[in-house]
Structure formats: C-alpha cells, structure tokens
Structure 1
Amino acid sequence: MNSNPIRVSKLKQSLWLDNIQRRQLKNGELAAMIKRGDIRGMTSNPSIFHAAITKSDDYTDALTTLAHAGHSAEDIYEHLAVEDIQAAADLFRPLYDETEGGDGYVSLEVSPYLAYDTEKTAAEAKRLWAWVDRPNLMIKIPATQPGLPAITETLANGINVNVTLIFSQSRYMDVMDAHLAGLEKRLQAGHPIHGIASVASFFISRIDSKIDKKLEEIMRQEGQNAAVAASLRGRLAIANAKLAYEKFKEVCASDRAAALKLHHAQMQRPLWASTSTKNPAYPDTIYLDELIGPNTVNTVPPATLDAFIDHGTVRQTLESNLHHASQAFEELRTVGILFQQITQELEEEGVKAFEDAFTALLKAIEEKRQTVLA
C-alpha cells in the first residue's frame, strides 16, 4: 500500500496525530492507524483533553473511582491524562524502537498556568516525565520568554521536549538556541546526549487567520495597497514556515551543531502545528501539501488527516518558491502590517486559549466529581 502518509514518510516528513481519545486507545483504532503507517506520533494539549473528557463517557468509570478516592479536579485530570499518554506511548513504542528514537513520540503539555514561570515549568516537566515513565514521551513547553530557559534546563535533564506556540522566526531562533544550550549543558555535566529528542512546534493557520482579517480591512480601502493586500491573503503562514525551515538548515549546518553531532545529538526538528484550514475558501489540505520537506513533522487533526489521505498532494514543497516567501513579507510591510506585533499577539492569545481550555476542563471535571459524590 502506498498511501499519502507513507509517501510523505518516504520524503522524510513524519505525520503525527493532533488528538487523543481513550476510546481509540482501547478499541484498536489507534493501533491500526500506526500499523497502516497513517501516523508516526501524537500530540495533545489542554483543548484536546477538554474535548476528550467532556464530550464522551470514556472516562466516567475512572473519574468516579478517582473522585471516591478523594482526588481534586486537577489530580483527576492528571491521572486521566497520564493514563492516556502512557497507553498511547506503549502503542507507539515499537515504532520508536524501530526508528531508534526517530519517531513514535507522544506529547504531554505542562500546565498552561505556568507559561510565564521558568522554575515551575522545569519542575513540572521533571515531575511529569518521571510519572509517565516512557522514553518516547515529549514534554510540551511553550516558547514564551520565560519558557526558553525552562526548555534548556529540561533538555539538560535528559527530557525530550516539544516546544509549542512558536509564531515568529526570531522566537524560533531563540528556541533553537535554547535546544543547543540544553544539550551543551548536559554534555558539560558529563552526561550522554544521544537519544534526547526535541521538536519545535510552529503554529501555521492561526497566522493566516489573524493577518487575513487585517488584509481585508485594507482591501476595503481604495488604492494600490488594496490590491497588494488581496494578493497576500493566505500566503503569510506558509511563507513564514518556509523561511523558518531555511533557518533550521542553517543551524543544523553550524559549527555548534556539528560539535554536538559528534556526540550523536539529534537535531530539533521543525513541527508544523495548527494545520487545519480555518478559512473555507482555502483547500482543506493546504497546510500539509505546501509544507512537505525532510526532517520535519506535521501534526494533524483527525479531519485534516482524513482529507489528506483522501485527496492530499505529496511532493517536496517546503523549499520551493523561497523568493516568493521573502517577497510576501516585503509586501506585508508596504501595506503597514507589523508581523512581529502580530506574532506577539498570537503568542499571548495562544497561552490564554490554553489557560481557558484548562480552566473549563477543570470546571467540568469538578462538576462531574461533585455529581459522583452527591
């Protein structure tokens, strides 16, 4: 069978599933997807767990047991999440072993309430890593300014890291620096660095969603800027990722990376996240079709994965039309949109969205807990 995901894998890109559900873990559906080669890893976040726990009865029995044992809502969430992550990691473990740590990872996010607290984030990463106790776990840490030293510390502790909520190329450079610094720190302490994996999750569709709104405001005005704005819709997110990939290749070719590779270091792969299409005017597989390239990951929601399997286009696209990517940013400046301001707002909104989802999740669990104990 030569399905689209398998063809993508042959181009050295890995598709991961951006979803987790207990039912899939138990009924063989996830195992079948792995066996078919549809997916090579999995990511989760507070929004995903909120949907999984509140929109199904998959967790009722476990939640009831934990509630009667006297656990708080947050304790119950952690127990449920860790159980799911452990089960998923075990299903991916053969792939992890087969690829010698190249794939087969499952990601669990630190509490979004800690996004601006370096020390607590690093401590939380250690605690969750020890609790899950799977070598193919990745701890998700947001790429906020306080998150950067936590990323370095976590990697120095020998823990795999998925850096999340990256929007700008400048912050991506900071993330790659934090990754290298973590491996260097661990090496200087006399510890091995082989087998420590990391991905840098670049958020894609949210960029177009936010910029397109500003472009549409400009389009409503008359003049040359309106025409330029119209031509820029739906282009910036892909352009941003393509230019970020060029920076990734530069870092991989650096002396600093070469020194770490002598000790069998894995380079931190770019991961394209938020790749479902938000605008119905755009093709539903655009953020997969246009971002295929070696040594990358694309984490995909179920509906987008189904669409890609059905009618996606597989060819190396990530390194094509780089001139057009640079030109798009030049044109964006000419119409007066400041990209750095956009990406800072997106980071803050992303943290807030995860905080809100986590708060809603804990509230829903507390309501279920109270019902059980009534």
Structure 2
Amino acid sequence: MSALNELEQHGQAVWLDFVDSKFLAAGGLKKLVDEDGITGVTSNPSIFEKAMGHGDAYDEKLAAFDKDNAEASTMSRYEHLAIGDIRAAADTLKPVYERLDGKDGYVSLEVSPYLANDTDATIAEAKKLWDAVDRRNLMIKIPGTEGGAPAIAATIAAGINVNVTLLFALDAYIRVAEAYAMGLEERVLQGQPIDRIASVASFFVSRIDGMIDEQIDARVNDGDADAEALKAIRGKVAIANAKLAYQWYLEFLKSDRWQALAAKGAMPQRLLWASTGTKDPAYPDTLYVDTLIGRDTVNTMPPKTMDAFRDHGTAADTLTQDIESAKHVLAEADRLKLDLTGVTGTLVLQGVASFTKAFDDLLGAIAAKQPAAV
C-alpha cells in the first residue's frame, strides 16, 4: 500500500489534477485508480491548453470531427475534444462512483473563463455542459467570484454537481458554502431529492504563499525592523489560512441549517485543496499534502506531486493540529501588514486572467488546425 492509499484511512480523497487523451487511452487513470486509490480528476483551461494546444495528440480526433462538421466554430471543436476526455475519465471513475454511492468518483469540467463574472451566462453554460457530457459523476467547475456564488446556488438547485474553483479567502469560501446550502434548500422547496448532489470547494494553497513570501523576502532584504518575525511565518500563511477554513467547515456542519439538510440526505460540500504543487524549492515537495490531511477533504495533485507523495509522503491527521499556531500565523500576518485580504483578492483576478489567457491560447491553437474539409 502506497502513501497515497493511506490517505483514504484519514478520510481524505486523492484526485488527479491532470487530463490528457493519450494518458486516458493508455489506461493511465485506471492504473492510478486501481493501484493508488485515486477517486477523482480535475481539469481546467490551463491543463487543456497544455494537452490540446501542443503537438498532434488530438489531431486525429479533430480531423474526424471536422469531416462531418466543417463549419463548426472553434469553440465547438474545443468542446468536442474536451467532452471526449471528460467522458472517458468519467467512465473510468464510474465504478468508484457506484462503489461509494455517489460520494466520490467525479471528474470536473470548467465553464468558460470568459464568463467568470456573468451569473446568468455561467448558469446557462453549466447546464449546457452537463447535458453534453451526460455523466452523473461530472462536476461543473464554477469560479467562486461574487458573480459565481448565485450561479452556484442555481446550478445546485438544478441538480448539477459543482466544483467551486479559485477560492483563496475565508469570506469567499463561506459565501460559496452558503450558496451550496441555498441551492439544496431550493431543491427541497421544489420537492426534489438532494441525496445525490455533490460539491467541492476548491481552496487554492501554494499561490498564497508565493505572493506572501515575495513580500516577506523583499522586506527582509530591505532590512525591515520586523525581519525575524517575517521570516518566522514564511511558508506558513497558506496552510494556516486553509486550516481555519476547515475549522469553519466543521462548525457549519453542526449548525441547525446544515443539520436540516443532512437529515434529508445532503452530502457535505468537501473542501478540496488545490494548487498543491510546491513552487519554492526551499520547501518539501509534499508540503501542501502532508500538512492538510483531514476527514471529508480532497487533495487534487498534479502528477509530479502525486509521485512525490507516493514516494516519501507521510499520511497523518494534520489538518486539525496546531490550530492555535495557525491563528497566531494569521494574526502575525495582519500585524505585519502583509495584507492577506488584498493578496487573495489579487489572486482571484490573476487566476481568472490566467485561465482566460490559457483559453485564448488553446482556442488559437485549435483554430490553426484547419478543418479537413477546407
């Protein structure tokens, strides 16, 4: 049994933050499911851009589609390719979904990043993708922006599973957790079942430290009077932020509001740790896995991080440890004016911009592959 398998004993699911046509066709995902206990897959525009926008791996499928759809738009051609990969991943994960009675076994597909702040368009896109993929173990990814929150509630109310993405701040997480509950409550009012609706809240980790640490290093290099205090919290802010988000989650599960939904079979919206690859070589390559292991959570790992944790990760209940220390770290970040609120707000904007840029590049690459009929 690998360290990845051991995470299940601690209540944490492992998802793969990667999708690729050749990888799926070669049985790569099935191997991870069978050998490492992987129970889910996430995709995003950046992942698809790397997979589809470079090389010729998708050319044959695109040419076959173009033969019968020579007038198709670039967006339609992209969706055909993406939906093919997502269906293949969903089918590979279907036995997991069935074995766990819908509690896991999901693959995620993101709405267009162009719609990040358009509530109505996001709702329409979510329904379109849900119908097109036609798999019960699909999650539609919707960004946790202010415009995204009401879209999340409406999408859940429509009976569609949702992966809320681009969460960095506690207040944004609370907003979307309440949106999930609101969507379930609407279904109850409609007389619809809620026991097979699933959601995760993707809380990004390493990007926070990346930006905070940059501030810390600049101030230390400038001889800041608080240099020692700054160095003491380097690499700790993101983990502290995540731990306190989980504490809010645990308290919310005890609330009368959630208990009323749970009594009708509602599944909790699990926190999912995203951006868990270590970007600073000074840190252990499993830092954002080792420190965030807890029940009813998910860690979605890029292949490199997954390989590292399989090789030398440590499975232990760490998410609920040192909560007072986590509070101290965030209090110090505030005292030292590191502006975590400003950082998380900037990261949301950067995340949307990054996915939009990746989507632009992806569509441009697909457009450059002219239909066979032309």
Structure-2-length-normalised TM-score? 0.97
2:333 alignment counterpart: 332
- The question of whether the paired residues in 2 share the 8 Å contact of 1:203 and 1:273 is answered with yes
Q: What are the within-5 Å matches in structure 2 for residues 93-104 of structure 1?
A: 93-104=94-105
Looking at structure 2, the residues matched to 43 and 369 of structure 1 have their Cα atoms a distance apart, in angstroms, of: 29
Between stretches 34-43 and 222-231, larger displacement belongs to: 222-231
Aligned to 2:7: 8
Write the mapping of 1:166-177 to structure 2, written as runs, cut at 5 A.
Answer: 166-177=167-178
* Structure-2 residue corresponding to 1:141: 142
Match of 1:352 in 2: 353
What is aligned with 2:285?
A: 284
Question: Which residue does the alignment assign to 2:298?
Answer: 297
> What residue is the counterpart of 1:40 in the other structure?
39
Aligned to 1:50: 49
Query: Residue type of the partner of 1:28?
Result: G
Q: Distance in 2 between matches of 1:55 and 1:29?
A: 20
Residue identity in the other structure for 2:32: M
Number of the residue aligned with 1:191: 192
* SS of alignment partner, residue 271 of structure 1: strand
Give, as a single letter, the amino acid of the residue that structure 2 aligns with 1:329: L
The aligned residue for residue 211 of structure 2 is 210
Q: Which amino acid aligns with 1:292?
A: I
Shift of 1:227: 1.1
Summarize the alignment of residues 31-110 of structure 1 with structure 2, pairs less than 5 Å apart: 31-68=30-67, 69-70=69-70, 71-110=72-111
SS of corresponding position for 1:369: coil
Amino acid at match of 1:84: D
Q: CA deviation at 1:373?
A: 5.6
Report what 1:244 is aligned to: 245
Counterpart-to-counterpart distance in 2, 1:110 and 1:278: 27
Corresponding residue for 2:317? 316
Contact 2:96 2:104 in 1 (8 A): yes
Which structure 2 residues correspond to residues 223-262 of structure 1 after superposition, within 5 A? 223-262=224-263
CA contact (8 A) 1:73 1:369 kept: no
Identity %: 48
Q: What is the number of equivalent residue pairs in this alignment?
A: 372
Q: Conserved in 2, the CA contact under 8 Å of 1:161 and 1:197?
A: yes
Alpha-carbon distance change, 36 to 336 in structure 1, aligned in 2, over 3 angstroms? same
> Which residue does 2:276 correspond to in 1?
275
Structure 2: give runs of 5+ residues left out of the alignment: none
Aligned-residue offset at 1:22:
0.7
Secondary structure of the residue aligned to 1:129 is helix
**Cα shift at 1:237:** 0.7
Q: How far apart, in 2, do the equivalents of 1:220 and 1:164 lie? A: 34
Preserved CA contact (<8 Å) 1:218 1:226? yes
CA distance in 2, matches of 1:243, 1:127: 35
Greater CA drift, 266-275 or 27-36: 27-36
| More moved, 332-341 vs 281-290 | 332-341
- The alpha carbon displacement at 1:223 in A equals 4.6
Cα distance in 2, alignment partners of residues 265 and 244 from structure 1: 20
**Displacement after TM superposition at 1:73 (Å):** 1.4
CA separation of 1:33 and 1:223: change in aligned 2, threshold 3 A: closer
Shift in Å, 1:30: 1.3
1:217, distance to aligned residue in structure 2 (A): 1.5
Q: Provide, for residues 21-77 of structure 1, a one-character-per-residue CA deviation record: whole Å limited to 9, x for no partner.
A: 111211122111111134110000000001111234221111112334222211111
Task: State the one-letter code of the partner of 2:291.
Answer: E
For 1:369 and 1:354, the matched residues in 2 are separated by: 24
Distance (whole Å) between structure 2 residues aligned to residue 19 and residue 170 of structure 1: 28
- 1:43 partner letter: T
CA deviation vs aligned residue, 1:278-313 (integer Å, no higher than 9, x gap): 111110000000000000000000011001000111
Q: Quote how far apart the aligned CAs of 1:330 are.
A: 1.1
Q: What secondary structure sits across from 1:16 in the alignment?
A: strand
Per-residue CA deviations over 1:321-351 (Å, capped at 9, x if unaligned) read 1111111111112221111111100000000
Going from structure 1 to structure 2, the CA distance change for 1:187 and 1:159 (only over 3 Å counts) comes to same
What is the distance in 2 between the residues matched to 1:97 and 1:223?
56
- Alpha-carbon distance in structure 1 between the residues aligned to 2:170 and 2:88: 35
User: Which amino acid in the other structure matches residue 347 of structure 1?
Assistant: V
State the distance in 2 between where 1:338 and 1:257 align. 32
Give the letter aligned to residue 92 of structure 2.
Answer: L
Asked if the contact 2:53–2:361 (Cα under 8 Å) also holds between the matched residues in 1, the reply is no
Q: Confirm whether residue 28 of structure 1 aligns to residue 52 of structure 2.
A: no
Unaligned runs of 5+ in 1: none
- Alignment deviations for residues 104-157 of structure 1 (CA, whole Å, 9 cap, x no partner): 100000000000000000011011101111010000000000000000000000
2: distance between equivalents of 1:373 and 1:210?
Answer: 48
